[in-house]
Every structure is written in C-alpha cells, then in structure tokens.
Amino acid sequence: EIVLTQSPGTLSLSPGERATLSCRASQSVSSRYLAWYQQKPGQAPRLLMYAASNRATGIPDRFSGSGSGTDFTLTISRLEPEDFAVYYCQQYGSSPIYTFGPGTKVDIK
C-alpha cells in the first residue's frame, strides 16, 4: 500500500501570499495517478487538480500542480479569502484503489 504524507500539517498565511503544499508518496507514483482536492468546513471535497498538473473545470489559474515520482506540489500563487481550507492529495493504485493524504490546512495568519 502506498502511503501519502502531506506537509506542513498547517500553513498559516495571509491573503495575497503564496502557498506551497507538499505531498510525498512512500513509493513512486505515476503523475497520472495523483489528484488534489480542496475541502472547506461543512462542505464536500472539490477536485482541484488531476494527473498532478491539470486543473479541474472551473478552477482558477492561481492553482497549479507539479511533481513526479514520490514528490508532488500544489501551489496557490496568491491566496484569496476563499482559498483558506484543507487540501488533500490522493493517489490511484491497487489495494486500496485510492489513498488520501492526511491533509494540509491553510489558515489565515
């Protein structure tokens, strides 16, 4: 089973700042198999990125994803007030099919 680790656990930033979130896999993962989700309190997760670097429909271009192998990054170039949320990475694999990272909370400094 591939384990995903996200860092930092919490990121305290101000609106307008750049956010860099890390997702590390315990084994190499195809970039095709890596996705990112955003979840706000009391809401369902929302797909942000798929195949590591492809923005989902309607996601603003201040969100970008990169990485390969075991290290992946989600970057928010300039934080907007609505971006303060928890972010999860997810990989597709086998047994289990999907694993999620523990999440990074981006909160207001």
Partner 1 sequence: EVQLLESGGDLVQPGGSLRLSCAASGFTFSSFAINWVRQAPGKGLEWVSSISYSGGSTDYADSVKGRFTISRDNSKNTLSLQLNSLRAEDTAVYYCAKGGEEYQLVSLYMDVWGKGTAVTVSS
Per-residue interface string for the shown chain with partner 1, residues 36-75, x marking contact by CB under 8 A: -x-x---xxxxx--xx----xx------------------
Alpha carbons 61 and 25: distance in angstroms, whole number: 25
Distance CA 74, CA 48 (A): 10
- Binding to partner 1 by residue 87, rule CB under 8 A? no
C-alpha Rg value of the chain to the nearest Å:
13
Name the one range near partner 1 by CB under 8 A: 12-20, 63-71, 76-84, 100-108: 100-108
Is the peptide bond between 8 and the residue preceding it cis, with omega within 30 degrees of 0?
Answer: yes
Determine phi and psi for 5, rounding to 5 degrees: -120, 130
Judged by CB under 8 A, the number of residues near partner 1 is 25
The binding site for partner 1 (CB under 8 A) comprises 32-33, 35, 37, 39, 43-47, 50-51, 56-57, 88, 90, 92, 96-103
